[in-house]
Chains A and B, each alone.
Chain A
Amino acid sequence: MHVLELRNVVKEFPGQRAVDGVTLALERGGFYSLLGPSGCGKTTTLRMVGGFEKPSSGDVFLNGERVNERKPYERNVSTVFQSYALFPHLTALGNVEFGLRERGVAGRRERAMNALELVKLSARAQRFPAALSGGEKQRVALARSLVLEPQLLLLDEPLAALDPDLRKQMRAELKAMQRQTGITFLLVTHDQEEALSLSDKLAVMNSGRIEQFGTPEDVYLRPASAFVAGFLGAVNWFGDAGVRPEATRIARERPAEGPSRRASVASVVFLGNRVHVHMALDEGGRAVAELPRAQDQFREGDAVWLHWNAADEMRFP
């Protein structure tokens, strides 16, 4: 049985269809993401799972039970909010105990302390949210949800407010926590790197619909649409064939076989271990090749041939 199943879910707001027929089924114990640009309906979808919005049509099933009409407090799912939404009048420990107290669970203090231990925040248990850093608040929010052992943990852009170093570290910890607890995670993000690195499977959303649901390799290497290809990374378009910059090569002479185009180097951008060579195609249009730094032998104005393996082409009907 699927821990979550969405069947043709639609959500309409006045003058706008935020979610336009989403169908999705999640297996227990996986790490899933909803990935898409802002306004694509991913957060609205998450809020319908959490019970904060009611679908205009379609059905939401948790563990096989239809929950369309159930309030958030009647669902065994928990949300980590983008703003964390910690209760300012309670300590970190008080925040983690909140849900346990509401459910009348015995041994609250001990469970809450264990949850804080899991997120490595036992030392801050008595602090109020105002005295915690962004990363620490994030951990309290996680502990507050995880301590309830929900069937499904919903995370709404949880890393968006953190600075880049911390984001990478929290990313690794999120994955570890998911594996350790075995709880199904459903993450909403607009950061493709985040979705690719964390998810067992991800759903790429665009204008209220899921364009593709698959493993990170699937969606990156075998995108189902031009939108998916473009959203997950840069694409050079040669007619209706798309090629990723890292699959695009450059040569001085015309290659003996395989597809190729004449171009001139417009600029070279140094990125540390890699370089991006931007080119203007003679036939019109632009392309970029990502090369290891060692192969950086091209300069602005050079006339070159860019080429690729036909196997690396992404084609969409």
Chain B
Amino acid sequence: MNLRRIFLFPARVWMALFFAAPLAIVCGYSFLTRGEYGGVEQPWTFENFTRLADPLYLAILWRSVRIAALATGLCVALGFPLALFIARAGKRRNLYLQLVLLPFWTSFLVRTYAWLFILRDTGLVNTVLQSLHIIDAPLQLLYNEGAVLAGLVYNFLPFFVLPMYATLERLDPALLEAAADLGARPLATLRRVIIPVSMPGIVAGAVLVFIPCLGAYLTPDLLGGGKTVMLGNLVQNQFTTARDWPFGSAASLVLMLASALLLAGLMRSRVRKELM
């Protein structure tokens, strides 16, 4: 018992100082009033939260949810076949897993900047298309939702592929043989056995992608060019340019709450499924 306390002590101090305390401060700020030159002032108020109901902010919230959902959907659509392929690749599994992880060898920022060079007017895509005379003028690929989506999917795909691979790798090959034995062709086996049996892995991977996408700020900032504002950008904006810390705090709390509720809901449905 004592030993346990000793070993847990560093983690407790760390979590208290760098997680619980900042969270409490953000929570407190969100009920205060904006100071004239930044910072916060009395009196206590709910106004920061009611302001979030403004159509302008609701649109940002909706856009964030929509983009995050689209990015998650794309990650599932791209990542599931990839994970299935890797899980069945035999000896080359480790090589493919390394390739999936390869982008992590450089920083998130560098990887996102790289997309600027791919998508901009004089970038890779436009140069190639123009030199092939497929287009005359460069396509506007950058600074729109599509660019943000591409960046998010690129950055978060491994977060879906890895847990999905872990689930599919554990899938009993005898189940697939049994399905074939009972008359199921490969597509029917995929639809009626592989997908339903690995659903917990799909959900887990989707959550791991959806939550960071919902709060993403760097990718929409760089690739959206400030035109595709998401919740993360709103929060960042309030703390920097707008100097409205209480409103930024309220926005980040709502973001956190939305993620937590989603997670709680999914966990409950997953747990129920597992128990059946």
Contact = CB atoms under 8 A, between A and B. Distances in A.
Interface of A: 50-52, 71-73, 78-79, 81, 83, 85-89, 98-99, 102-103, 128, 130, 144-145, 148
Majority secondary structure, B binding face: helix
Interface string B97-129: 000000000000000000000000000000000
5 contacts: A72-B180, A87-B178, A102-B183, A145-B181, A148-B183
B199 to A, nearest CB: 8
Contacts of B197: 87-89
B175 A99 contact: no
A81 B56 CA distance: 60
Interface in B225-276: 276
Contacts of B199: 89
A128 B177 CA distance: 20
Contacts of B276: 128, 130
Given A73-B185, A98-B192, A102-B188, A87 B175 contact: yes
B213 to A, nearest CB: 28
A207 B188 CA distance: 37
Contacts of A78: 181-182
Contacts of A71: 180
A98 B172 contact: no
Contacts of B193: 87
A93 to B, nearest CB: 14
B174 interface: yes
Given A83-B174, A85-B178, A87-B193, 19 more contacts: A50-B177, A51-B181, A52-B177, A52-B181, A72-B181, A73-B184, A79-B177, A81-B178, A83-B172, A87-B175, A87-B178, A89-B199, A98-B184, A99-B182, A102-B182, A102-B188, A103-B183, A148-B182, A148-B183
Contacts of B180: 51-52, 71-73
Nearest to B174: A85
A50 B188 CA distance: 19
B177 A72 contact: yes
B174 A89 contact: no
Interface of B: 172, 174-175, 177-185, 188, 192-193, 196-197, 199, 276
Contact of A85 (B172, B183, B188): B172
- Interface centre among B182, B192, B276, by most chain A C-beta atoms within 10 angstroms, is B182
- List 3 A-B pairs, minimum CB-CB distance, nearest first: A99-B182, A85-B174, A85-B178
A85 B197 CA distance: 12
Contacts of A103: 183
A98 B182 contact: yes
Contacts of A72: 177, 180-181
Contacts of B196: 89
A144 B182 contact: yes
B48 to A, nearest CB: 45
A52 B172 CA distance: 15
- Interface centre among A79, A83, A85, A99, by most chain B C-beta atoms within 10 angstroms, is A85
Contacts of A144: 182
A81 B179 CA distance: 11
Contacts of B188: 102
B192 A85 contact: no
- Interface centre among B175, B177, B178, B192, by most chain A C-beta atoms within 10 angstroms, is B178
A102 B174 contact: no
A85 B180 CA distance: 12
Contacts of B183: 73, 99, 102-103, 148
A99 B181 CA distance: 8
A31 B262 CA distance: 56
A102 B174 CA distance: 18
A78 B178 CA distance: 9
Nearest to B276: A128
A55 to B, nearest CB: 17
A86 B172 CA distance: 10
A50 B181 contact: yes
Contacts of A99: 182-183
A239 to B, nearest CB: 47
Contacts of A50: 177, 181
